[in-house]
Structure 1
Amino acid sequence: MTIDLQTPYEQGNKNQSTTWAECIAWYQDLAQRFPRVLGFSVIGMSDAGLPIHAGVVSADGVFDREQIRAAGRPVFFNNNGIHPGEPEGIDACMALVRDFCVDPARLAALGKTVFLFVPLYNVDGSVNRANTSRVNQDGPEQFGFRGNARHLDLNRDFVKCDTLNAQVFNKLFAAWDPDVMVDTHTSNGADYPYTMTLIHTQTDKLGGALGAFLKQTMLPHMFAEMARRGWPTCPYVNPVKDSPEHGIAEFLETARFSTGFAALHHTIGFMPETHMLKPFADRYASMRALVETALDFTVANAGAIMQLRRAARQEARARREWPLHWAMDESRPSSFRFSGYAARYSASELGQYRRLSYDRDAPWERDIAYYDNFVADIVVATPRAYVVPQAWREAVERLLWNGVAMRRIEADEVREVQYYHVTSVASRPDAYEGHMFHDDVQLEKRTAPLLLRAGDWWIDLDQDRARYAIETLEPQGHDSFFRWGFFNSVLEKKEAYSDYVFEDHAVELLREEPALRVKFDAWKAAHPELLASQAAVLDFILANCERYVEPEWRRYPVLSVL
């Protein structure tokens, strides 16, 4: 290999990561030199106005997405630099793509599989370069920043899509429909000997035969192969208490994260997390080994993976019930042979508390509890279809970006539908990634004849993208559009009253509406402390009377056709 084909990482001291400008210029040069191996192009723009690139490697020089999909070829997707302060995947991908170009045997080993990659996803954060934002990390000498130009974390944005990056990613993912995805990261947490840890699509949530294949076949192979390559790997270290010796829990990666988003498309997703306290050269080498291990397994088992994904979509079409929310089953832990360091506790020099540290001179190895079973704790009956009123453009856009099949209703019609009345919402007290996220949502199902307008969107669930539609449109889904606040305006009552006028009228309403009187009496008995508040009393009467009802208040606008 000539010196000019070395990556910036390979040319340096093994503690330097490429800059965004170096990375893109290097790929552009490589694509010009090897036009029958590598296609490289701009796929969109970031919020800061910087181009986002993607590349395609194929053994036969076919890069056209439509041609590749029509041929039914497997697609492996490698995303890098979502957190530019965790850059080893950026540098490892460059070397892997270069080797495809210069090594005919390595390229031929791809067979029909297409290697799709985003070289550096968070381009805004990558140009915000320093060495101060990763307080616990050992190298490299310079790196980018976690937030993008809008100070948002792109690995929380896959459903809400506040950033242009996420909108581009949604469209790219839906268009290419990858079979396996690896999104590269660096961890932050406990200390232990492993350089590589691994988050994967939670297998119970992925579900069915596809989830079983991941758990019983693919993951055991990957852990064994990584050990053979000299990089023993463990599941992502998510301690159930303060240190791993008490057990670790599998990471429930909901759809805001890349692997959870992938699951909405029945894609197997991996989020390798190298350990932040290991040298950058080791993190780079282990990351390359992990990506290659996942890729080689995908190539060898592409037919089985693609068949399982087709079966998962067929199963989704036929499901009578759909799980929306999962919780860890603490009663059924499995075990994992874990290598760790002894946890030590000592008095802090900073405050009046005891602090945790790890003693690297006291290593240990033993079986620890591994909580890797999750059960669906919220399940809903699957409707025949949803109707999304055209007024809610933000939801409609995201459904379309993700390839959900939809049609416009052609003429006004009144139809018996089911809808949710939102009885209560508990939200986070502080903003989370630009939103007041709803942690708890309580609903009441109701049925009524409602007007469907010409131009509203009909979404039949007998389609391949049913899972994305269900888990984003059902309000109690982990990362539903509702939880992210897309429909907040329905939670606000639009009309009010003057208390001195309504006081007398409220007495009349209680006399005229017996059902209201029953509700009011029950409310008084349950909340005697509120009877001293005129606002609380009158608010209850206005909210529960029939005469001044606002039908749209707290009515979730997405309708279910049964």
Structure 2
Amino acid sequence: MSSHTDHTTAFITPYEAGNQNQTTTWQACIQFYQDLAAQFPNVLQFSQIGVSDNGKPIHAGIVTADGVFERERIKQEQRTIFFNNNGIHPGEPEGIDACMALVRDFCIQPERLTALGKTVFLFIPVYNVDGCLNRQDTSRVNQDGPEQFGFRGNSLHLDLNRDFIKCDSENAQVFNRFFSEWSPDVMVDTHTSNGADYHYTMTLIQTQADKLGYGLGPYLRNTMLPAIYTEMQERGWPTCPYVNPVKDSPDHGIEDFLETPRFSTGYAALHHTIGFMPETHMLKPFADRYASMRALVETVLAFTTANGAEIQALRAQAREAASQQQQAAVHWVADHGQASSFMFKGYQAVYSPSVLGNYTRLSYDRSQPWEKAIAYYDHFVADITVTQARAYLIPQAWRAVIERLQWNGVQMQRLEADTSLQAEVYHIQSVQSRSHAYEGHMFHDDVQLLPTSASVIAHAGDYLVPLDQPAARYIVETLEPQAHDSFFRWGFFNSVLEKKEAYSDYVFEDTATDILNTEPEVKAAFEQWKQENPGLLSDQQAVLDFIFSHCARFKEPEWRRYPVLRIMH
């Protein structure tokens, strides 16, 4: 097979071979890449990087113009790394199929390969392997094709685009290690959207620029995004920001999607990687979604290739700044007092009585298109900041937390002897948690803390985690309890919220009276509680629980004490 035509025929994808409404199976996808790598070993290296929860292999590929695939050499030579992740939601598969054709074209089109220069094209063909194998045509309720597709959940029924911090899945554990080892400069993670109706086939979530911060955020907002939007327009795929209406329809304005670290782009931001989550519109034909997705990946790749050195320099500056800053933002909210404007092409929102129930339903009338400027809330502000510690101390017992830090390249020092340290200790004043399970956890939506200083003994084997290192941002936003997707919010420290000892009420009734006579602080707090909760005075357990939980006589020092300590000096 020596000609361009022969190679194209030999490596035609299932999408191209069908009626443009087909997506590949996982088996056909992997075989395609294996055959391609065997035929073009100097262009493509393709290998297994781990296994899924169902024991199926997870693969990754590397394309380079000069046949250099060794990660250490690539990093030593400071080559730009572009990462394309596909199939995290296999029911949204156009990225899987588009990546297959793009990698094939790198192999058979010399001019396309040459255009890569020194840039590395790194990709995962199908991240959620188990979901891709769960093939059917029913789960995507509102989507126009393809005829069959995979399922959103993996074999643990987890949404992997909520798992990047908690890492319940084998996939996420593999991904954390893989991403941290390669440290890509730019990532595109391909998706299909749900939501309103509008003209656009392609919508785009990017790392929220204010949250990304440092020099990277302004560069993304002012330089990279305008270039991407312009190029997509020129390629015939006008693109708009992800349609996240502030009310029920885009007419009232849209708001940036705050992609916290549970999501791929938010996770990437912890490593100072610029992330994009293209969301093609579910109501558009699969062929259009496929074509626009390939155009988007190629557009972002071309920009990355042309501007890689500048992006790398900004990332290095961000890593240094994050490790040395005095104040660290850990939580952001949209600034609705500062709206931008976007010229949006939509359809008339129509409200009419439902035939199913006694309510008004929303629909969109495509016979009434409109184009107008709408409010675009793309500015966010930090509403929770903390004074950055010099280091954190993690007791060795909290192994699940320690190993996740290790998967992300965090540098830690294990103490060789018991050591006395002055530390800032968080006590958990209150926690508001969801009333239902969320991705296998009872997520804590609100956390209130009381910091105090204390002299503590760190034991031999405990881990000291300095902030003066490249992984500083990942450390802060996982170990600070009030951060959006901290380990605490995901329930890794739930056992400290439970008091371990209890009382027998008929005995403790007399003890409680004695406590009020001997502990004036408790008596004062109890008097205030009685004034605030008169209805609970007839509830013996509520009365005794208050005294028991506030007294010094039966104090449990570890109760509601966050075990990760902040070393400030």
Q: Same fold (TM over 0.5)?
A: yes
Equivalent in the alignment of 2:384: 378
- Of 278, 283, 299, the residue aligned with 1:277 is 283
Which residues of 2 match residues 429-444 of structure 1 at below 5 A?
429-444=435-450
Shift of 1:556: 0.5
Residue 164 of structure 2 aligns to a residue in which SS? coil
Q: Deviations over 1:417-471 (max 9, x none)?
A: 1111001111100000000000011110011111201111100000000000000
**Normalised by the size of structure 2, how large is the TM-score?**
0.98
Name the CA distance, whole Å, in 2 between partners of 1:107 and 1:375: 41
Name the CA distance, whole Å, in 2 between partners of 1:366 and 1:460: 51
Equivalent in the alignment of 2:61: 55
Shift of 1:414: 2.2
Is 1:327 matched up with 2:326? no
Is 1:317 matched up with 2:323? yes
- Of 537, 544, 549, the residue aligned with 2:543 is 537
Residue 449 of structure 2 aligns to a residue in which SS? strand
Residue 194 of structure 1 aligns to a residue in which SS? coil
Is 1:361 matched up with 2:332? no
Is 1:78 matched up with 2:90? no
Q: Deviations over 1:348-401 (max 9, x none)?
A: 111111111111111000100000010000000000000111101110011000
Is 1:548 matched up with 2:554? yes
Greater shift in the superposed pair: 9-18 or 507-516 = 507-516
Name the CA distance, whole Å, in 1 between partners of 2:516 and 2:355: 65
Equivalent in the alignment of 2:400: 394
Equivalent in the alignment of 2:157: 151
Is 1:453 matched up with 2:480? no
Name the CA distance, whole Å, in 2 between partners of 1:419 and 1:65: 40
Shift of 1:532: 1.1
Name the CA distance, whole Å, in 2 between partners of 1:543 and 1:208: 44
Name the CA distance, whole Å, in 2 between partners of 1:410 and 1:531: 52
Shift of 1:208: 1.7
Residue 479 of structure 1 aligns to a residue in which SS? coil
Shift of 1:521: 1.5
- Of 104, 110, 114, the residue aligned with 2:116 is 110
Residue 215 of structure 2 aligns to a residue in which SS? helix
Name the CA distance, whole Å, in 2 between partners of 1:463 and 1:374: 26
Name the CA distance, whole Å, in 1 between partners of 2:441 and 2:344: 38
Shift of 1:4: 1.2
For residue 169 of structure 2, what is the amino acid of its counterpart? T
Unaligned runs of at least 5 residues, structure 1 = none
Equivalent in the alignment of 1:217: 223
- Of 417, 421, 431, the residue aligned with 1:415 is 421
* RMSD, matched Cα: 0.7
Which residues of 2 match residues 98-497 of structure 1 at below 5 A?
98-497=104-503
For residue 321 of structure 2, what is the amino acid of its counterpart? E
Name the CA distance, whole Å, in 2 between partners of 1:451 and 1:538: 33
Q: Deviations over 1:166-209 (max 9, x none)?
A: 00000000000000000000000000010000000000000021
Name the CA distance, whole Å, in 1 between partners of 2:272 and 2:99: 24
Residue 270 of structure 1 aligns to a residue in which SS? strand
Runs of 4+ in 1 over 4 A off after TM superposition: none
Shift of 1:234: 0.1
Shift of 1:317: 1.3
For residue 476 of structure 1, what is the amino acid of its counterpart? Q
Residue 301 of structure 1 aligns to a residue in which SS? helix
Shift of 1:104: 1.0
For residue 491 of structure 1, what is the amino acid of its counterpart? L
For residue 226 of structure 1, what is the amino acid of its counterpart? M
Name the CA distance, whole Å, in 2 between partners of 1:231 and 1:426: 44
Is 1:510 matched up with 2:516? yes
For residue 177 of structure 1, what is the amino acid of its counterpart? S
Residue 296 of structure 1 aligns to a residue in which SS? helix
Unaligned runs of at least 5 residues, structure 2 = none
Q: Deviations over 1:219-241 (max 9, x none)?
A: 00000000000000000000111
Equivalent in the alignment of 2:103: 97
Shift of 1:117: 0.0
Residue 387 of structure 1 aligns to a residue in which SS? strand
Percent of aligned positions with the same letter in both sequences?
A: 68
Name the CA distance, whole Å, in 1 between partners of 2:190 and 2:170: 20
Equivalent in the alignment of 1:520: 526
Residue 302 of structure 1 aligns to a residue in which SS? helix
**Normalised by the size of structure 1, how large is the TM-score?**
0.99
For residue 233 of structure 1, what is the amino acid of its counterpart? T
Name the CA distance, whole Å, in 2 between partners of 1:239 and 1:514: 53
